Amino acid sequence: LPWVVGLGLAGVIVLGLVGWAAARWSVRPLDEALRRQRAFVSDASHELRTPLTALTSRIQIVQRRLSRGEPGDEPLEQLRRDAQVMDDVLADMLLTAEGTAARGTARVDESVRAAVDVLSALADDAGVALHAKTLAAEVVAVPAVTVTRMCTALLDNAIGHSPAGAAVDVSADVEDADVVIRVEDRGAGIGADDLPRIFERFARGAESGRRRGFGLGLALVREAAGRYGGRVEVERTSDAGTVFALHMPRVD
């Protein structure tokens, strides 16, 4: 009978739709896992790029010193610290990928100096002077490795957008319940069209200094700061340079 055939076809269609929906639901966790995996690989590649580049620069310094018969103990110790930074960064990223925010506190002045130390060789290669100004010896409710990661990203961005012969300044001050780390460069500034998306992943803007756009670094700083109740912002920008301000909750 026609109605029986129609009912059978309707049943087949319904079963097909149910199967399709079930397949979609079963694939969703896999899609999410793949998305998180791609994000982790992308983030890790970016976060480890700077320490690896610094490591290469240190090795070249050791080679030059040894070739001149000079002692290489100091740069070798710096190499050890760079390797430790990479290990700490990777451990912090693995915790983040698992959805777990690491707990801990940090002395701001020590974490800022650690970031300056990581980037000193890169700044020298770029002809940019790194100046650590007033650094408050305050404790913030953020793990030390995370503070160093955020400072490294901000300083790396500043170096990348600074012309040779320029200076990059970093300072840390207490403001109400926060400690505010400021990184100031003397680059060409951020265009008005780029400001709204400056903290987006893989944002691309006008070319300035040695780098085009802002890549992942600033987005990762925003995400890391947000996990601990902090924030990062562009405090001011012009054709004379840019100041980024990183706010973190202070421990009383």
137-174 per-position pLDDT tens digit:
999 999 998 999 899 999 999 999 999 999 999 999 99
Going by C-alpha positions, the residue among 54, 35, 15, 25 that lies closest to residue 152 is 54
Q: Tell me, what's the pLDDT at 33?
A: 55
Section 212-218 average pLDDT: 64
- Would you say 146 and 103 are in contact if contact means Cβ atoms under 8 Å apart? no
Sheet holding 178-184, edge to edge: 129-135, 167-175, 178-184, 241-249, 231-238
Residue 88: other Cβ atoms inside 10 A: 18
- Name residue 130's beta-bridge partners: 168
**Fold (topology level) of 106-249:** Heat Shock Protein 90 (3.30.565)
- The model's confidence at residue 74, banded by pLDDT at 50, 70 and 90, is confident
Helix (H) or strand (E) holding 63: helix 2-67
Instruction: Identify whether the C-beta of residue 169 lies closer than 8 Å to the C-beta of residue 158.
Output: no
Alpha-carbon distances, residue 196 vs 117, 150, 188, 210, 216 (angstroms): 31, 20, 17, 22, 15
Q: pTM for the full model?
A: 0.73
Encoded tokens for 42? 């992308």
* Distance (Å) of CA 155 to CA 58, 120, 151, 169, 222: 18, 10, 6, 9, 14
- Residue 43, Cβ neighbours under 10 Å: how many? 18
Instruction: Count other C-beta atoms under 10 Å from residue 39's C-beta.
Output: 13
| The token pair that represents 210 in the structure block | 């040695």
Q: Using 50, 70 and 90 to split pLDDT, how confident is the model at 244?
A: very high
Sequence-distant (≥ 6) Cβ neighbours of residue 118 within 8 angstroms: 50, 51, 54, 82, 85, 148, 152
Instruction: For tokens 């983040």, name the residue.
Output: 96
pLDDT of residue 67: 83
Q: What is the mean pLDDT of the chain?
A: 79
HSE on the CB side for 107, CA within 13 Å? 6
Q: What pLDDT is stored for residue 5 in this prediction?
A: 45
For residue 68, the tally of other CB atoms under 10 A from its CB is: 7
